[in-house]
Amino acid sequence: MAIGTQVWLNGKILPLESAKVSLLTHGLHYGTGVFEGIRTYKQKAGGGAVFRLREHMERMVDSLKILDLKCPYSLDELCRGAIEVTKANRFEECYIRPLGYIADGPLGVYPGENPPVSIAIMNWEWGKYLGDEGVNKGARLMTSSYIRPHVNSVMNKGKITGQYVTGVIAKKEAVRLGFDEAIMLDPDGYVAEGTGENIFIIKRGKVKTTPLTAILGGITRRTVMEHLEKQGSPVHEIRFTRDELWCADEVFMCGTAAEITPIREVDNRVIADGRPGPLTKKLMREYADMVRGTVPEYGREWLTPIR
């Protein structure tokens, strides 16, 4: 994994090794940070482009709002910063990680009314998040023993750093037990999401995904829904149970890092014949085309050239 040697920190491009953070950073003590995960892709027509950059930055500003923090930069400045640092690192196909956090100053849990907020943007090259085998043959999931916390305990609509602790321990549990990813249930016992992915199931041609209630509103989830709707196949946002997952004809997960990853097994139950299903494979191909700029109707709207 190649890591970009340059970062964008509070409006300036700096070498990674000189972009240091104080031990007194509030975000480090209390998890009061927010982040995004964005991918850029080499375009068929040449050069690189960022997929749905503005939507990611909008969600980052929303995450700050959920933490009652003001973003010190405008949306345009954040988008420009992401492009500048990607150019500085000379990447065409990479991952972009914007990170915002309460910087040093306040030391107690109460951060004060206008705490200092720092924004950093980093890059690295990232392969298939759930592994090449996961993408080619389908990944294996386990229902986690950890649940997505109640909506009044964790603000699921924000990508807030401290909230990822449950995901970290759920992912470790799954990997230790030999699975690729954990699927977490909501406090009522319905399927919620993976530690970094949303989930879809297909049964008798009907596509279902979990309602937004207890999950992060994934931008890839939205992309899949908008795309299927355009093709006349609307997605039903409805709660479903883990046994519906086991008995589905197809299951796939999606996220910026995971893109569209077929699921071949859940809790040691093989999904259908254990191979990626036809709709999943079609969506994987179409997603790969749209992010590389070969679907004209999505090009201008969703792809920001790196220049």
**Nearer Cβ to ligand PMP (222/275):** 222
User: Shortest distance, CB of residue 36 to ligand PMP, whole angstroms?
Assistant: 8
CB of 219 to ligand PMP, least distance (A): 4
Beta-carbon contacts of 173 under 8 Å, excluding residues fewer than 6 positions away, are 142, 144, 145, 146, 182
Smaller CB separation from ligand PMP, 107 or 168: 168
Q: What residues make contact with ligand PMP under the rule CB under 6 A? A: 37, 193, 196-198, 216, 218-221, 255-256
Phi-psi category of residue 272: left, alpha or beta, with phi > 0 → left and psi -120 to 50 → alpha: left
Closer to ligand PMP at the Cβ: 180 or 193? 193
CA gap 81, 87 in Å, rounded: 10
Amino acid at 95: Y
Beta bridge partners of 142: 182
Backbone angles phi, psi at 267, to 5 degrees: 50, 40
Tell me which residue has its CB nearest to ligand PMP: 218
Question: Which residues in 110-139 are b (16+ Cβ under 10 Å) and which e?
Answer: ebeeebbbbbbbbbeebeebbeeebbeebb
CB of 255 to ligand PMP, least distance (A): 3
Angle (nearest 5°) at CA 194 between 223 and 292: 30
- Rounded least distance, CB 191 to ligand PMP, Å: 12
**Set 159, 206, 281, 282: catalytic member:** 159
For ligand PMP, the closer CB: 144 or 256: 256
Measure the CA angle with vertex 45, ends 41 and 46; round to 5°: 65
For the beta carbon of residue 146, count every other beta carbon within 10 angstroms.
Answer: 19
Tell me the backbone φ, ψ of residue 221, rounded to 5 degrees: -55, -50
What is each CA distance from 164 to 32, 184, 187, 235, in whole angstroms? 11, 13, 17, 27
The CB-of-58 to ligand PMP minimum distance in angstroms stands at: 11
99 beta partners = 35, 120
**C-beta of 208 vs 221, nearer to ligand PMP:** 221
- The closest alpha carbon to 209, from 232, 187, 188, 229, belongs to 229
Closer of 7 and 38 to ligand PMP (Cβ): 38
Q: Report residue 34 as tokens.
A: 């927010």
Per the annotation, the verdict on 159 as an active-site residue is: yes
d(Cα 38, Cα 150) in Å, to the nearest integer? 27
> Which positions are catalytic?
159
